[in-house]
Chains A and B, each alone.
Chain A
Amino acid sequence: MKPREISVTVNAKHYRSEVPPRLTLLDYLREVLGLTGTHAGCEHGVCGACSVIFDGQPIRSCLMFAIQADGHEVETVEGLAGADGGLSPLQDAFWEAHALQCGYCTPGMLMASHALLRANPDPTEDEIKEAIGGNLCRCTGYQQIVEAVRLAAKRMREADPEAGPEGNKDRVDE
């Protein structure tokens, strides 16, 4: 099949690319754009390691073709940090709580949690578990991940008590 031209916004940058129609969005991000923070785990939509945010919603990038992202907006783990490299409050909380070991599922966990906190700045424990329920982690037993998301939510609310959904875009310095 002939390559197709697509236009995609990834982490607020615009890209125009020619891609084979069967190229997955995951492989497009990794192999074409060089954004290797998003990982392949199962390639059948169960483990969530490849989670990215697509038009505001967390999705599996292994289950989508790149051409389906034509005209759409994608956010990946590389977009979480500020332009100066400063960590987002969520990333910082993952570090503080040691919410990872090998780091392989971490980008997917971060994107799923990021989408949650953007929509719901004060999630209950059940809501946190629901949000990461489709992301498998083999190292941590999830405990420190849940703790990190709770910590991030608390810190973000304290930093900006008025913030509603979509509110807090602050970065913290290390």
Chain B
Amino acid sequence: MSSEAPEGRRFRYVSRKRRTKEDRRFIAGQGRFVADISLPGMKHVALVTSPHPAARIEAIRTEEALKIEGVLAVITGEELARATDPLMSGLNLPDVRRFPLAVDRARYAGEWVAAVVADSRYIAEDGAELVEVDYDPLPFVVDAEEAMNEDAPAVHPAHGTNVLYQRKFVYGAVDDDFAAADHRLAFRACWGRSSTVPIETFGVLAEWHPGTGILDVWASIQMPKYPEQIARALRLDANCVRVHYDVDVGGSYGVKRGIKHTVLVGYLARKLGCPVRLIEDRLENMTGGDAHGPERIFDVEAAFNGDGEIRSLRIRALDNVGAYAGRAPLQLAKPIGAIVGPYRINSVEYEAISVTTNKTVQEAVRGFGQSPTNFAIETAVDKIARALDLDRVEIRKRNFIRKDEFPYTIPSGSEYDSGDYLTVQDKVLDLADFPALLARRDALRAEGTLAGIGISSCLEPSGGNAAFEPLFNPANETTTWMESCVTKIDLAGTVTSIMATASAGQGHETLVATVTAEELERDPDGIRVVRSDSLASLPSNSPVASRMAIMLGGAASGAAKILKRKLIDIAAHNLQLPADRLVYEGGNVAVRDDPGKKLAWDELVEIAHRKYHQMPLGMEPGLQASYVWEVPKGGELPDADGRVRMYPCYSFEAHIPLIEIDRDTGQVKILEYFIGHDCGTMINPDIVHGMVYGGIAHGIGAALYEIFAYNEDGQLLTGTFMDYLLPSVHEIPDIKMVDHSTPSPLTSMGQKGTGEGGYLGAPAAVASAVNDALAPLGLELDALPMRPGDIEALLRTKSG
């Protein structure tokens, strides 16, 4: 593993091996997750769920449940809909109304129909068993293409169609490029419905204080504008909701959005006058937690020349968002910001179609739709190579955007900041000893084994400005996605930084401490990082969009720089010298030409906190600074053609796995896995590597094992860990990684995002390897996941 020093700046703490701030509490069993928080008098919730994919709710009888000792209340959707407003949608869809509990009609099997509140979760479940619901089953549809038929059952009859969003974007001279190209090919690729499935389910605890009129919320949350959305649905002023961000989140990777859960318990806590906690059990999480991921059909057409130059793409993406809209349809929009991948493709047509069906609701998943799109683009590149009998590495090299072409504006309007794709590709080829790897594959083939090498080279857009919101919903004019940090140096000279969001394992405390330490030249181990609550904080947009190294890192840098400037100004005033004759080092300020003459950190702190008479005229006493950073190059609305600058920074990764397929069972075994990775300056290398390894494991799951499968009765078949298969250590190979650093010119230290990392390229790479293994048989498989049964069935078509 090698790490290159970023250009232009030598770091003391950044990019160096250092233990994280967060790990210490977790290894001692002292994390503070939402289920660890108990309040006196706290009550517990269990849910009554619909067994039908679509049904009219005729009656709900609660008398028997209420007879149980310890059951306090049973509430229904009808009651909740009277007292709350519908949950927000990412699209402008007034007739697709969504409440935490089904109102009149259940729209998927597992949807919450009633909630039982009791002294314990055990008693609440007893109560839920005794709630009787009369259903009148209705026709339903679970397939996205069927849902588009005119005679398909309407999931939301008031909306009039199951299509929630449809628009064709044409970026550049697509027809001309297709007409001028030597060749074209077309294919369909499918991304199966999987998700991030954190080991901790979603949980939330709420307590209402009538005396202050504040609803306190502790939740396992990763959601932008969460307090405002809860307040709005509960018909409260936004400053009546106080979300506590000092709750550890047991994994999220996108899905821990929990608005419906929170509105439900917020309502219950207020109605019942006691703290109420809802911790999903695994089945509730998988069926009714509304946390499934994209399920997408891509129809792709590619135009290319005989030398492998890719001229243009036409992509039609049909996504099945499930029974309600939420924020999920926007996952079709984000990939527009990297719609040509790392390639010089001149024009693109992209049609996005979002369809509602009687399946569990989709939520944001790691990469926000980018990983499925990367899979479609990479599948196209592999197919073009195969059609031209061109090497899959070579075709990528011929199409890569060159290092000296950055900043590079793609046809859809986003500008890639920096990159060196050829070098990263070369590095991973070296790491893999590619000729030897090819020889090994061929030796395996010579023994009769189905062996294949995968190639994928993908982008990770990072630090997003949420411009996909106005792109898909003109009523929403969001052009900023800011992040904030407050830092103070106290009277004793110790440093504390305050962030305004919860974290789910991304190491934000380490990030803030490292960046602050770098700017102030103080030891990171001595810097405390805490989390405020939503009322006491400056704005945050939560750790989405692979943005925190960029945005929180930038905010922390900004606050620390203000403090450093203030320390220098105090020294200048007391040394009676202009600031440009002073030098700041390790927190002390000395005279450049006379280093013996200086003011030490402790003296400067003392002046700021106690000796106002020694402060420069008009300077605020104390040492505290806040900084709110806007997304670099954000701030623009899309143009009429849908061109928009969406993400500021683009990380790059090149994957090379070697796999073999068991001819009898169809089981894929990953023999080797190599990755070259470039996220600019790494703040903490251990964190970056961990994210990439974990992202690859997640991607292997999506490629080979994980699926929310439905049967023809509209029932989810994979609601437990016995059948929804998360990879264990036995399925994940030893991953070998090589780093590269092309710093971003737009960020405080050259950093880019990495949290979605490996997941954005691994599914494409594994699919590429499987198809390389199948190629000698003349077989192709373009649907994920590629489960053993799927591959075995395909192999049988050849042997049979």
Contact = CB atoms under 8 A, between A and B. Distances in A.
A41 B33 CA distance: 12
Contacts of A23: 122
Interface residues of B, number: 57
Interface in B36-71: 36, 38
Interface stretch (A2-10, A32-40, A115-123, A161-169): A32-40
Nearest to A40: B35
B199 A41 contact: yes
A132 B729 CA distance: 7
A46 B687 CA distance: 27
A140 interface: yes
A77 to B, nearest CB: 4
Contacts of B19: 95-96, 98
Interface string B229-261: 000000000000000000011111100000000
A62 to B, nearest CB: 10
B507 A41 contact: no
A53 interface: no
Contacts of B505: 100-103, 139
Interface stretch (B127-135, B186-194, B435-443, B694-702): B694-702
Contacts of B728: 133-136, 142
Interface in A64-92: 76-78, 80-81, 85, 87, 91
A60 to B, nearest CB: 12
A51 B107 CA distance: 37
A141 B30 CA distance: 23
Interface stretch (B290-298, B414-422, B718-726, B740-748): B718-726
Contact of A100 (B23, B33, B735): B23
A140 B31 contact: no
Given A22-B122, A106-B26, A134-B728, A143 B197 contact: no
B703 interface: no
Contact of B25 (A46, A103, A137): A103
B726 A44 contact: no
Contacts of A156: none
A59 interface: no
Contacts of B251: 101-102, 104, 138-139
Contacts of B694: 101, 137-141
Given A42-B282, A104-B251, A140 B20 contact: no
A105 interface: yes
Interface string B247-279: 011111100000000000000000000000001
Contact of B26 (A46, A96, A100, A133): A100
Interface string B691-715: 1011111100000000000000000
Interface string B658-690: 000000000000000000000000000011011
A98 B30 contact: no
Contacts of B28: 37, 77-78, 80-81, 85, 87, 91
Contact of B199 (A20, A47, A144, A146): A47
A97 B122 CA distance: 39
A101 B279 CA distance: 21
Contacts of A94: 23, 27
A174 to B, nearest CB: 8
Given A133-B729, A136-B728, A37 B29 contact: yes
A87 B721 CA distance: 32
Contacts of B726: 47, 136, 138
Given A42-B282, A146-B729, A103 B250 contact: yes
Nearest to A146: B729
B690 A44 contact: no
Contacts of B722: 44, 46
Contacts of B196: 138
Given A36-B36, A104-B33, A137 B26 contact: no
Nearest to B282: A42
A161 B199 CA distance: 37
B734 interface: yes
Nearest to A93: B27
A58 interface: no
Contacts of B616: none
B721 A107 contact: no
Contacts of B27: 87, 91, 94-95, 100, 103, 106, 110
A133 B720 CA distance: 18
B265 to A, nearest CB: 18
Interface string A142-172: 1111100000000000000000000000000
Contacts of B33: 36, 39, 104
B250 A140 contact: no
Contacts of B282: 41-44
A103 B22 contact: yes
A49 B25 CA distance: 16
B693 A140 contact: yes
B763 to A, nearest CB: 14
A142 B698 contact: no
Contacts of A20: 122
B460 to A, nearest CB: 16
A142 B23 contact: no
A104 B200 contact: yes
A44 B719 CA distance: 11
Given A39-B250, A141-B697, A47 B20 contact: no
B504 interface: yes
A38 B33 CA distance: 11
Contact of B686 (A31, A98, A132, A137): A98
15 contacts: A30-B36, A39-B33, A39-B250, A47-B199, A49-B199, A49-B200, A76-B29, A78-B28, A100-B505, A102-B198, A103-B25, A104-B198, A141-B694, A142-B693, A143-B735
Given A98-B23, A103-B22, A145-B729, 14 more contacts: A22-B122, A43-B281, A44-B282, A44-B722, A47-B199, A81-B28, A98-B687, A103-B26, A103-B27, A138-B251, A139-B694, A141-B698, A142-B732, A143-B693
In the A-B complex, the 9 residue pairs with the smallest Cβ-Cβ separation, listed nearest first, are: A37-B29, A103-B26, A104-B250, A102-B505, A101-B505, A141-B697, A77-B29, A141-B693, A46-B721
Interface of B: 19-20, 22-31, 33, 35-36, 38, 122, 196-200, 248-253, 279, 281-282, 504-507, 686-687, 689-691, 693-698, 720-722, 726, 728-730, 732, 734-735, 758
Interface of A: 20, 22-23, 30-31, 35-44, 46-47, 49, 76-78, 80-81, 85, 87, 91, 94-98, 100-107, 110, 129, 132-146, 174
